[in-house]
């Protein structure tokens, strides 16, 4: 979610900056005065898009992605598009009226200009609505992409945690059985070969120290793992005669 929000924030900051950069380049190439009126007009349209994006991203998309409420999502999206068209129509109508008053004052025929302005406003609204639908589609794709990555990460962490739990469970199952057999072997060696019994006790104490202080660590040096395995094999050899060869 954090990476997704950062990506969206950077994208919208870039979109808001485009009119400033474009107007700056245009004015510098034509030696015209920097016009903030045009920039604010473009920003108003971008802000309408931004509001629609926020509603779609944070309120409508969770309906279809997390709650699987497709009908609610479709109905909500249609209502949002209609509101967008209405707001855009009001904005362009007001802008057109201001432009019309300026043109009429210059001596042009109002009726012909009004017809042309209505046609242009309709075309602008249709184009902006198509752009809005495409934006919603891209928003849905980005949301699904980040959700897929999050699900894969959660699945990996869950599998890793399950594997760790299985290893811990396996240790608790093997260790008591192994040490019980080893103690029985040492008990038998006390009278037969006391020196070997002492050696076995030392080896087993090292193994117990490893299990208590190293076995639950996430990362363990390979040398300690190797020493533990060799100690385990050495104690297991006591159960067999010298005729048995263990590789």
What are the tokens at 45?
């349209």
CA 30 to centroid of chain Cα atoms: 45
Instruction: Give me the pLDDT at residue 92, please.
Output: 79
- Residues 144-157 have a mean pLDDT of 92
Domain boundaries, the chain: 2-153, 160-237
| Share of residues in the chain with pLDDT > 90 (%) | 28
Q: Each residue of 10-22: pLDDT tens digit?
A: 888 888 888 777 7
Residue 31 has pLDDT above 50, yes or no: no
pLDDT category at 117 given cuts 50, 70, 90 is low
Average pLDDT estimate for 161-175: 71
Question: What's the CA gap between 63 and 65, in Å, rounded?
Answer: 6
> How many CB atoms neighbour CB 26 within 10 A?
13
Whether pLDDT at 93 is above 60: yes
pTM above 0.85, yes or no: no
Enter the tokens of residue 212.
Answer: 């208590």
Structure tokens at 159: 């599998």
Question: At 81, is the pLDDT very low, low, confident or very high (cuts 50, 70, 90)?
Answer: very high
Q: In this predicted structure, what is the pLDDT of residue 188? A: 80
Per-residue buried b or exposed e for 149-163, using 16+ beta carbons within 10 Å of the residue's own CB? eeeeeeeeeeeeeee
pLDDT confidence of 171, banded at 50, 70, 90?
low
pLDDT of 168 > 80? The answer is: no
Instruction: Say if residue 172's pLDDT is above 70.
Output: no
Residue pair 138/52 in contact by the 8 Å Cβ criterion:
no
For 173-208, the pLDDT digits (tens) are 666 777 787 788 888 888 888 888 888 888 888 888
Q: Look at residue 104 and give its three-state secondary structure.
A: helix
Query: What torsion do the CA atoms of 179, 180, 185, 189 make, to the nearest 10 degrees?
Result: 90
List, for residues 223-247, the tens digit of each pLDDT value. 887 887 888 788 777 777 666 676 6
C-alpha–C-alpha distance, residues 207 and 182, integer Å: 12
More confident residue, 85 or 204: 85
pLDDT, greater one: 171 or 6? 6
């Amino acid at each position: 979610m954090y990476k997704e929000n950062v990506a969206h924030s950077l994208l919208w900051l870039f979109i808001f900056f485009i009119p400033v950069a474009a107007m700056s380049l245009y004015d510098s190439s034509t030696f015209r005065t920097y016009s903030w009126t045009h920039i604010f007009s473009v920003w108003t349209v971008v802000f309408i898009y931004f509001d629609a994006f926020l509603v779609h991203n944070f309120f409508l998309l969770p309906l279809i992605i997390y709650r699987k409420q497709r009908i609610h999502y479709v109905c909500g999206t249609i209502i949002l598009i209609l509101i967008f068209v209405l707001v855009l129509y009001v904005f362009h109508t007001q802008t057109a009226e201001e432009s019309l008053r300026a043109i009429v004052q210059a001596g042009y025929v109002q009726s012909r200009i009004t017809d042309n302005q209505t046609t242009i406003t309709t075309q602008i609204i249709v184009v902006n609505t198509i752009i809005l639908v495409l934006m919603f589609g891209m928003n849905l794709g980005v949301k699904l992409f980040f959700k897929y990555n999050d699900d894969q990460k959660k699945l990996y962490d869950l599998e890793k945690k399950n594997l760790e739990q299985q290893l811990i469970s396996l240790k608790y199952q093997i260790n008591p059985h192994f040490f019980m057999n080893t103690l029985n072997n040492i008990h038998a060696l006390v009278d037969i070969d006391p020196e070997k019994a002492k050696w076995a006790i030392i080896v087993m104490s090292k193994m117990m120290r490893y299990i208590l202080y190293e076995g639950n660590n996430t990362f363990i040096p390979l040398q300690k793992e190797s020493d533990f395995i060799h100690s385990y094999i050495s104690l297991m050899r006591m159960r067999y005669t010298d005729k048995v060869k263990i590789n």
